[in-house]
């Protein structure tokens, strides 16, 4: 069998279709690679046996990994939390059903921060997922398992979820492509909720061609999801070869100030230079309410999380610490089942929603969210796409920020505004630091204009090879 580690997911699909690769052989290749390599990373939670699934479908036999907060019928779903350690999903998430119908084979579930609360995949009951480029560093979060698995070529595709950067930031740290679609573009039915007005499922791949293909499969209206949009879904693969000449790219000055690593700034400048060669117009713009984004996000996200996590009480599903007293049952179950970061988010959210503080915190955060959205609306009347860094720093050391929550929260400073505004955004590899750590650039577009992200990103990857580089892992 051919050595398929360097094939893209779409190339694997075409080789299976041409009978130069067998479905079961492809699956065995990646399953064996996971067993050999993942002990160095801890990116997978569960690995599944080969399932024939839909035969003759477009992507028949191509493996994909699913983040451990997306339901797969008959499989354990834990959100990397002790409180759901024994829970088995009783239905397929809409995205999982769509992937199965397309013929993709779910090879397993990936590690994450507990209930997606985190930016490093250190807050997991399964332990930390390590960065494939430097195993002393984090993979990012909360979709760190999915990003690390794709970067290490343990699987061609993966799904993650993004509430404030949880697809894009780990993809930045691991050197792969992570796309957060417009809010409502992809159904959230079957995604265990963190922040219901912020969450969005999206693809993690090595390249924009694979991203476009997976986005085609998972996008569209779903009657099971009340926030799902009826907006027409284009064929995103048609954007892969579109001409970018004449596009206007905005550079927000607020994203290039104090705290940005000089190596990352230089890499973004080089991205601009590549675009300029194609007569893309670079325009400085301003998003003045960016400075309030972190505070706004953590009030809204934690408030929604505290409400969503009320269901985990030891009665309906998951862990139960038996006790004759009902109140003590609730208390002890949650005390033993939730990790420190989950408890921190619950406390913060409950406080923000409590009587006497609702107006001062939650209501004010909602008003500020509207101002952030208006900033983007104004800028998109001037430009087509916005270019920024994905993260102010490369991947940080394991345990470096875990005891300093505020420092950890600030690692998402460039990504959270798009979730507050409901906009699509993508992170893609654009270079390496002197320590050989990946650098990520971020593109943001107006609502339901993922095509512009794919168009620009695909052009960039045609003229660079950062996305083709492999991490220094043993096989």
Q: Which residue has the higher pLDDT, 101 or 331?
A: 101
Catalytic residues: 67, 142, 166
Question: Which two tokens mark 474?
Answer: 């043993």
CB 109 within 8 A of CB 69: no
| Of 152-161, 342-351, 381-390, minimum mean pLDDT range | 342-351
CB 365 within 8 A of CB 300: yes
205: pLDDT strictly greater than 60: yes
331: pLDDT strictly greater than 90: no
Mean pLDDT of 200-223: 98
Beta strands in 105-150 (DSSP E): 105-110, 130-131, 134-138
Question: Which two tokens mark 443?
Answer: 């593109």
Q: Which of 474, 254, 279 is nearest to 379 (CA)?
A: 254
474: pLDDT strictly greater than 70: no
Residue 156 CB partners (closer than 8 Å, separation 6+): 7, 8, 9, 12, 30, 62, 63, 64, 150, 205, 206, 210
**Mean pLDDT in the chain?**
95
Name residue, tokens 């971020």: 442
CB 314 within 8 A of CB 333: yes
Which sign does the torsion angle of CA 31, 34, 36, 42 carry?
negative
Residue 81 φ then ψ, to 5° = -125, 140
Q: For residue range 419-430, what is the model confidence (pLDDT) as tens digits?
A: 999 999 999 999
The predicted pLDDT at position 403 comes to 85
Angle between the 450-462 and 262-276 helix axes, to the nearest 10 degrees?
90
How do beta strands 157-162 and 105-110 pair? unpaired
| Of 198-207, 216-225, 349-358, 359-368, minimum mean pLDDT range | 349-358
Mean pLDDT of 5-28: 94
| Of 18-22, 41-45, 63-67, 74-78, minimum mean pLDDT range | 18-22
DSSP state of 275: H
d(CA 230, CA 247): 27
- Give whole-number Cα distances, 214 to 1, 96, 181, 205, in Å: 25, 12, 12, 9
The predicted pLDDT at position 356 comes to 84
313: pLDDT strictly greater than 90: no
Q: Which of 149, 229, 134, 219 is nearest to 179 (CA)?
A: 219
The predicted pLDDT at position 58 comes to 86
| Of 17-31, 53-67, 95-109, 181-195, minimum mean pLDDT range | 53-67
Q: What CA dihedral angle connects 133, 400, 128 and 124, to 10 degrees?
A: -140
Percent pLDDT > 90 in the chain is: 85
319: pLDDT strictly greater than 90: no
Q: For residue range 366-377, what is the model confidence (pLDDT) as tens digits?
A: 999 999 999 999
Residue 251 φ then ψ, to 5° = -115, 100
Q: For residue range 82-101, what is the model confidence (pLDDT) as tens digits?
A: 999 989 999 999 999 999 99
Q: For residue range 277-309, what is the model confidence (pLDDT) as tens digits?
A: 999 999 999 999 999 999 999 999 999 999 999
d(CA 263, CA 74): 46
Q: Give the confidence band of 475 by pLDDT, cuts at 50, 70, 90.
A: low
Q: Give the confidence band of 45 by pLDDT, cuts at 50, 70, 90.
A: very high
d(CA 165, CA 417): 9
Residues facing 137 on adjacent strands = 397
CB 387 within 8 A of CB 443: yes
Query: What is the full DSSP assignment across 250-262?
Result: EEEGGGGSTT--H
The predicted pLDDT at position 159 comes to 98
Element housing 21 (H / E) = none
Q: Give the confidence band of 406 by pLDDT, cuts at 50, 70, 90.
A: confident
Query: What is the full DSSP assignment across 186-230?
Result: B--TTBPPSSTTT-EEEEEESSHHHHHHHHHHHBS--TT-TT---
The predicted pLDDT at position 53 comes to 66
Give one word for 157, left, alpha or beta, with left for phi > 0 and alpha for psi -120 to 50.
beta
Residue 20 CB partners (closer than 8 Å, separation 6+): 2
Domains parsed from the chain with CATH numbers: 9-243+424-468 (3.90.1300.10)
Mean pLDDT of 397-403: 93
1: pLDDT strictly greater than 50: no
3-state SS string over 381-408?
A: CCCCEEEEECCCCCCCECCCCCCCHHHH
């Amino acid at each position: 069998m051919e050595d398929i580690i360097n094939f893209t997911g779409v190339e694997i699909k075409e080789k299976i279709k041409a009978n130069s690769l067998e479905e079961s052989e492809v699956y065995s290749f990646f399953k064996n690679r996971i067993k050999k390599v993942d002990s160095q990373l801890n990116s997978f939670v569960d690995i599944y046996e080969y399932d024939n699934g839909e035969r003759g479908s477009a992507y028949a036999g191509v493996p994909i990994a699913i983040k451990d907060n997306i339901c797969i019928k008959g499989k354990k779903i834990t959100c990397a939390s002790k409180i759901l350690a024994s829970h088995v999903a009783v239905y397929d998430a809409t995205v999982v059903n769509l992937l199965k119908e397309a013929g993709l084979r779910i090879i397993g579930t990936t590690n994450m921060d507990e209930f997606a609360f985190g930016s490093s995949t250190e807050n997991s009951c399964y332990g930390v997922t390590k960065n494939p480029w430097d195993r002393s560093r984090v993979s990012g979060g909360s979709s760190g398992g999915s990003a690390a698995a794709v970067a290490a070529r343990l699987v061609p595709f993966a799904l993650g979820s993004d509430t404030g950067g949880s697809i894009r930031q780990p993809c930045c740290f691991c050197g792969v492509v992570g796309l957060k679609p417009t809010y409502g573009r992809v159904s959230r039915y079957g995604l265990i909720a963190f922040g219901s007005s912020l969450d969005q499922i999206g693809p993690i791949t090595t390249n924009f061609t694979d991203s476009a293909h997976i986005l085609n499969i998972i996008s569209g209206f779903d009657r099971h999801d009340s926030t799902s949009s009826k907006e027409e879904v284009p064929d995103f693969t048609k954007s892969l070869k579109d001409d970018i000449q004449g596009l206007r790219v905005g550079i927000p000055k607020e994203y290039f100030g104090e705290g940005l690593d000089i190596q990352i700034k230089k890499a973004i400048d080089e991205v601009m230079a590549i675009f300029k060669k194609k007569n893309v117009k670079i325009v400085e713009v301003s998003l003045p309410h960016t400075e309030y984004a972190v505070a706004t996000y953590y009030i809204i996200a934690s408030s929604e999380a505290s409400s969503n996590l009320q269901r985990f009480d030891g009665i309906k599903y998951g862990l139960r610490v038996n006790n004759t007293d009902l109140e003590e049952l609730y208390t002890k179950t949650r005390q033993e089942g939730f990790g420190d970061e989950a408890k921190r988010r619950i406390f913060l959210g409950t406080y923000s929603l409590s009587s006497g503080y609702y107006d001062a915190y939650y209501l004010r955060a909602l008003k500020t969210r509207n101002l952030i959205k208006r900033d983007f609306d104004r800028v998109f009347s001037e430009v087509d796409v916005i270019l920024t860094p994905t993260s102010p720093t490369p991947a940080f050391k394991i345990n470096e920020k875990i005891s300093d929550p505020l420092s950890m929260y600030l690692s998402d400073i460039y990504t959270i505004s798009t979730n507050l505004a409901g906009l699509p955004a993508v992170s893609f590899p654009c270079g390496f630091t002197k320590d050989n750590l990946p650098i990520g650039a971020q593109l943001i577009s107006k609502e339901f204009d993922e095509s512009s992200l794919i168009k620009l990103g695909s052009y960039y990857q045609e003229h660079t090879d950062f996305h083709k580089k492999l991490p220094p892992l043993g096989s």
